């Protein structure tokens, strides 16, 4: 019997409707997964001061933040002394063995920027120990308690310091751990990481190494990200995944951070073969190292997350046999709602090759089943590269246009209110992708375009597996899931639920893996590198295109007038996304003006040559803001006259000389032998200063040096600049610093000494900033430097 014509027609009309409903459900499911991902990245609610004693309370920790960050407190300052007294009192009040390590130490990393020299500092670390019951090693909780000179450090790093004090309280309120827990609050991190260098290199408790948990902040809000580990981290990451209540961290971040020249205290511990984890929250970067980094701007949810993770990890490492933490490989890992996925990093290349083979098999089946020709598959691969290139370029051009309108953004890590700009970049990436799809779908076909996107994901996965193994999962797993979904769809009825379910599951995998990366890349890299986030947004779009295509009129099987209208409406999503990008950027400009609460950042310092009486204003701004332009007009090299400031070229302008003395240089001994000449001098500041430096002329070869009893290597330096080897001493004692230089014989050196204090008030010609003009987060902001040359 045949089917009656009316019923057959009804079924024919019902099929596309059911398919569209299924497609809409699949898209809704992806949106729900995305919402779950974003919720999982949110910070927890802060616990009140009445929380149980064995729990971390952000409100209790915040009381310490207010004390530590009451005002700027650089290493060696009276304000820093007061902070240290508070820390010692709290830790001793908990019954912990507490001491102050007072020593001179060299830098770790390369933060100082001293041209051709070495950096040291007098540091006073606060160290407390909670003895274990049967220790297999030591667990070190580390944060720095000093701040930059330009701000009180409410987040960086009063948050980390306060977290450790609250963790110490919570640990002492419960049973003693198996392993020793050592609380290390370091000094002079901002200057040179010298406090961590001193502890890791010479403190008795550090002699046998151990596990380090470093707590940092580079902003005021956002989730706490575990962004750096020691090498061969598989077992450490396993502990992190099961013990941290909020395990946000990716192996991609670890790989990127290892390649960057950035350093924290964690660097010093790695240099001395410790193992461990480094964590920080990083959003709200506009206040970083500025006067705005006050306790009031700290997000207590971020503080709670910091403390929850630190306490959970301290307890887990405290009970673990620390001798079993060695692994012979790094882990690949990334966050998912409710936990942390992790697997051996050596699987990156095999998985990448498997994904490439699976995508190739999908292409073969597409051609064999008549879904696409070889030529169209090849065209799909070539066409898929277009949005991958265009979207990041568009994001860069968008930010260039925004900074042209608002040039003060150039000096900020991120705008004060960056959300609108981030949404604009995502909308721009969507506009590029949708426009590309609308223009190419009818000619190339959805199968070829989907194949092209998966091909590039698979190729990127293999490339990352070779170059950046910890980041390979970002491309490999979405490519593999997409290829398997395509194979499953080809194996089922085209008009059945199988294809919809398959592509929806693959899209969910891509959302779970790539969406957190897009979200976290914005604060990690800043809007100046928003193109990187745009790139991953496009990769996410390519991976989810099959779900979006289910809503296309031809995919739904529409015919006649309805199909014609749908095709005419198809370009609208791309146009809407493009319009949204423009509108969102405009909203960002409207809601984020510079004002008294969000000032435009400016950099200015004053430098005086006490020997010649010449003074100048200096600024590191490439294009000075109007306020700064009132002081500087030309450009000079800092290394020519003030080598302790580094090699950067600075903007310069004439200034009136202030009556301030240069550091005093005394020759204590000068012994010239056939093989070498040994010169011993004392350099004494004649006023309260933050740092002191001594450089020799570039024609003098210094083979070794000793400062305050600390042995330093010398070196040979180019004669293109007037000054060569030098020493920068942070937090110098008022009685001065003794320095011994061992040089080549038969040469009479010329010495250049400099010291620097903070604050320009009282300098002739200085005009206080208007309310909407602020201080940029720089270690030389508001510096007052005085130098003098001493020929011998």
pLDDT reading at 17 higher than 80: no
Judge if 94 and 178 occupy the same domain.
yes
CA-to-CA distance for 274 and 140, rounded, in angstroms? 10
CA-to-CA distance for 148 and 157, rounded, in angstroms? 10
In-domain check, residue 53: no
- Distance between start and end Cα atoms, the chain: 115
Strands 691-697 and 664-672, by their bridges, are: unpaired
Q: Which two tokens stand for residue 2?
A: 């045949």
Q: Which two tokens stand for residue 48?
A: 């009140």
Judge if 577 and 627 occupy the same domain.
no
Q: Is the peptide bond before 51 cis (omega within 30 degrees of 0)?
A: no
670 and 685 in contact (C-beta within 8 Å)? Answer: no
Judge if 704 and 579 occupy the same domain.
no
Q: C-alpha 726: how far from its chain's center?
A: 30
Residue 116's SS3 state is coil
Judge if 304 and 389 occupy the same domain.
no
Record the pTM.
0.93
Number of domains in the chain: 3
- Give buried/exposed letters for 326-344 (b at 16+ CB in 10 A, else e): ebeebbbbbbeeeebbbee
pLDDT reading at 443 higher than 70: yes
In-domain check, residue 481: yes
pLDDT reading at 13 higher than 60: no
Judge if 364 and 237 occupy the same domain.
no
Judge if 545 and 415 occupy the same domain.
yes
Least confident interval from 6-10, 294-298, 595-599, 660-664: 6-10
Confidence of residue 564 (pLDDT cuts 50, 70, 90): very low
Judge if 322 and 449 occupy the same domain.
no
DSSP assignment of 1-67 equals -PPPHHHHHHHHHHHHHHHHHHHHHHHHHHHHHHHHHHHHTSPPPPPPTTS-TTS--HHHHHHHHHH
- What's the confidence (pLDDT) of residue 604? 96
In-domain check, residue 422: yes
CA dist list (Å): 529 to 152, 235, 401, 620: 28, 33, 14, 21
Rounded to an integer, the average pLDDT of 766-789 is: 94
pLDDT tens, 319-359?
999 999 999 999 999 999 989 999 999 999 999 999 999 99
Rounded to an integer, the average pLDDT of 426-435 is: 96
pLDDT tens, 159-179?
999 999 999 999 999 999 999
pLDDT tens, 40-69?
999 999 999 999 999 999 999 999 999 999
- What's the confidence (pLDDT) of residue 556? 45
All residues at 6 or more sequence positions from 511 whose CB lies less than 8 Å from its CB, including other chains = 30, 33, 34, 37, 540, 544
In-domain check, residue 149: yes
With 0-12 CB in 10 A as exposed, 13-18 as middle and 19+ as buried, what is 572? exposed
- What's the confidence (pLDDT) of residue 113? 47
CA-to-CA distance for 254 and 252, rounded, in angstroms? 5
In-domain check, residue 160: yes
Q: Which of 591, 624, 642 is the last residue of a domain?
A: 591
Percent of the chain with pLDDT over 90: 78
In-domain check, residue 486: yes
The enclosing domain of 192 has a CATH number of 3.40.630.10
Judge if 281 and 390 occupy the same domain.
no
pLDDT reading at 773 higher than 90: yes
| Residue 129: closest CA among 100, 107, 96 | 96
- What's the confidence (pLDDT) of residue 557? 46
Judge if 556 and 691 occupy the same domain.
no
In-domain check, residue 343: no
CA-to-CA distance for 102 and 99, rounded, in angstroms? 9
Q: What's the CA angle centered on 765, arms 761 and 770, to 5 degrees? A: 65
Q: Give me the count of residues in the chain.
A: 792
Angle at which helices 348-368 and 446-467 cross, to 10°? 160
pLDDT reading at 558 higher than 50: no
- What's the confidence (pLDDT) of residue 5? 52
Mean pLDDT over each residue of the chain, to the nearest integer: 91
- What's the confidence (pLDDT) of residue 495? 65
Q: Which of 566, 591, 616 is the last residue of a domain?
A: 591
CA-to-CA distance for 685 and 228, rounded, in angstroms? 39
With 0-12 CB in 10 A as exposed, 13-18 as middle and 19+ as buried, what is 704? middle
**Residue whose structure tokens are 């590029």:** 432
Q: Which of 293, 328, 363 is the last residue of a domain?
A: 328
pLDDT tens, 361-409?
999 999 998 889 999 999 999 999 999 999 999 999 999 999 999 999 9
221 and 286 in contact (C-beta within 8 Å)? Answer: no
In-domain check, residue 341: no
190 and 779 in contact (C-beta within 8 Å)? Answer: yes
pLDDT tens, 721-745?
788 889 999 999 999 999 999 988 8
pLDDT tens, 269-293?
999 999 999 999 999 999 999 999 9
Q: Which domain holds residue 655?
A: 601-792
pLDDT tens, 615-645?
999 999 988 999 999 999 887 777 788 888 8
Confidence of residue 548 (pLDDT cuts 50, 70, 90): confident
CA-to-CA distance for 279 and 263, rounded, in angstroms? 13
316 and 242 in contact (C-beta within 8 Å)? Answer: yes
Least confident interval from 12-21, 225-234, 389-398: 12-21
Judge if 171 and 229 occupy the same domain.
yes
With 0-12 CB in 10 A as exposed, 13-18 as middle and 19+ as buried, what is 306? buried
Judge if 613 and 582 occupy the same domain.
no
CA dist list (Å): 265 to 18, 151, 184, 203, 780: 59, 19, 11, 15, 20
Sign, CA torsion 278/284/290/296: negative
Judge if 565 and 676 occupy the same domain.
no
CA-to-CA distance for 515 and 517, rounded, in angstroms? 5
């Amino acid at each position: 019997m045949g089917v009656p014509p009316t019923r057959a027609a009804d079924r024919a009309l019902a099929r596309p409707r059911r398919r569209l409903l299924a497609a809409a459900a699949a898209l809704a499911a992806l949106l729900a997964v995305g919402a779950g991902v974003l919720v999982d990245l949110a910070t927890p609610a802060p616990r009140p001061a009445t929380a149980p004693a064995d729990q971390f309370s952000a409100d209790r920790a915040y009381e310490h933040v207010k004390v530590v960050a009451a005002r700027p407190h650089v290493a060696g300052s009276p304000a820093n002394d007061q902070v240290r007294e508070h820390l010692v009192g709290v830790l001793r009040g908990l019954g912990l063995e507490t001491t102050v390590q007072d020593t001179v130490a060299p830098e770790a990393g390369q933060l100082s920027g001293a041209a051709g020299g070495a950096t040291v500092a007098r540091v006073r670390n606060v160290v407390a120990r909670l003895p274990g019951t049967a220790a297999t090693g030591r667990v070190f909780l580390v944060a720095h308690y000093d701040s930059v000179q330009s701000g009180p450090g409410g987040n960086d790093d009063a948050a980390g310091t306060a977290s450790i004090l609250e963790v110490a309280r919570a640990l002492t309120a419960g049973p003693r751990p198996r392993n020793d827990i050592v609380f290390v609050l370091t000094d002079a991190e901002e200057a040179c990481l010298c406090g961590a260098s001193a502890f890791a290199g010479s403190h008795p408790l550090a002699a046998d190494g151990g596990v380090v948990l470093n707590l940092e902040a580079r902003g005021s809000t956002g989730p706490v990200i575990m962004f750096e580990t020691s090498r061969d981290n598989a077992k450490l990451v396993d502990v992190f995944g099961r013990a941290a209540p909020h395990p946000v961290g990716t192996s991609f971040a670890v790989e990127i951070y290892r390649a960057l020249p950035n350093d924290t205290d964690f660097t010093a511990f790695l240099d001395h073969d410790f193992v461990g984890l480094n964590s920080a929250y990083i959003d709200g970067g506009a206040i970083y190292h500025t006067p705005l980094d006050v306790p009031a701007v700290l997000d207590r949810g971020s503080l709670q997350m910091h403390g929850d993770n630190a306490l959970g990890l301290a307890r887990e490492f405290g009970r673990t046999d620390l001798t079993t933490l060695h692994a012979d490989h790094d882990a690949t890992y990334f966050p998912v709602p409710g936990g942390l996925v992790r697997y051996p990093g050596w699987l990156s290349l095999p998985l990448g090759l498997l994904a490439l083979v699976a995508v190739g098999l999908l292409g073969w089946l597409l051609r064999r089943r008549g879904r696409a020709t070889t030529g169209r598959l090849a065209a799909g691969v070539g066409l898929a590269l277009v949005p991958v290139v265009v979207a990041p370029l568009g994001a860069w051009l968008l930010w260039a246009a925004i900074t042209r309108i608002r040039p003060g953004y150039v000096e900020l890590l991120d705008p004060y209110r960056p959300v609108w700009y981030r949404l604009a970049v995502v909308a721009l990436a969507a506009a590029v992708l949708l426009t590309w799809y609308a223009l190419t779908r009818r000619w190339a076909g959805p199968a070829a375009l989907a194949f092209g996107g998966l091909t590039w994901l698979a190729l990127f996965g293999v490339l990352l597996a070779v170059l950046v193994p910890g980041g390979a999962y970002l491309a490999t797993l979405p490519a593999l899931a997409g290829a398997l979904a395509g194979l499953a769809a080809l194996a089922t009825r085209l008009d059945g639920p199988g294809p919809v379910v398959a592509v929806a599951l693959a899209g969910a995998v891509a959302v779970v893996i790539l969406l957190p990366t897009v979200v976290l890349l914005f604060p990690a890299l800043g809007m100046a590198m928003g193109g990187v986030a745009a790139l991953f947004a496009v990769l996410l779009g390519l991976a989810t295109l099959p779900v979006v295509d289910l809503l296309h009129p031809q995919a739904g099987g529409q015919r006649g007038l309805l199909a014609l209208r749908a095709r005419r409406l198809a370009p609208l999503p791309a146009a809407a996304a493009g319009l949204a990008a423009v509108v969102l950027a405009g909203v960002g400009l409207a809601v984020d003006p510079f004002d008294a609460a969000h000032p435009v950042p400016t950099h200015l310092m004053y430098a005086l040559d006490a020997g010649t009486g010449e003074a100048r204003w200096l600024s590191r701004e490439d294009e000075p803001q109007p306020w700064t332009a009132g002081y500087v007009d030309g450009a000079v090299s800092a290394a020519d006259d003030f080598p302790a400031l580094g090699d950067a070229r600075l903007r310069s302008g004439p200034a009136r000389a202030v009556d301030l003395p240069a550091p005093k240089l005394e020759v204590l001994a000068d012994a010239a032998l056939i093989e070498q000449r040994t010169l011993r001098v004392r350099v004494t500041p004649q006023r309260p200063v933050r740092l002191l430096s001594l450089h020799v002329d570039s024609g003098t070869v210094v083979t070794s040096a000793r400062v305050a009893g600390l042995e330093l290597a010398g070196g040979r330096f180019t004669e293109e600049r007037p000054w060569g080897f030098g020493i920068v001493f942070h937090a110098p004692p008022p009685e001065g610093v003794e320095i011994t230089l061992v040089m080549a014989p038969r040469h009479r050196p010329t010495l250049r000494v400099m010291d620097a204090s903070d604050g320009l008030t009282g300098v002739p010609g200085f005009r206080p900033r208007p309310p909407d003009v602020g201080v940029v987060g720089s270690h030389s902001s508001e510096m007052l430097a005085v130098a003098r040359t001493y020929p011998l």
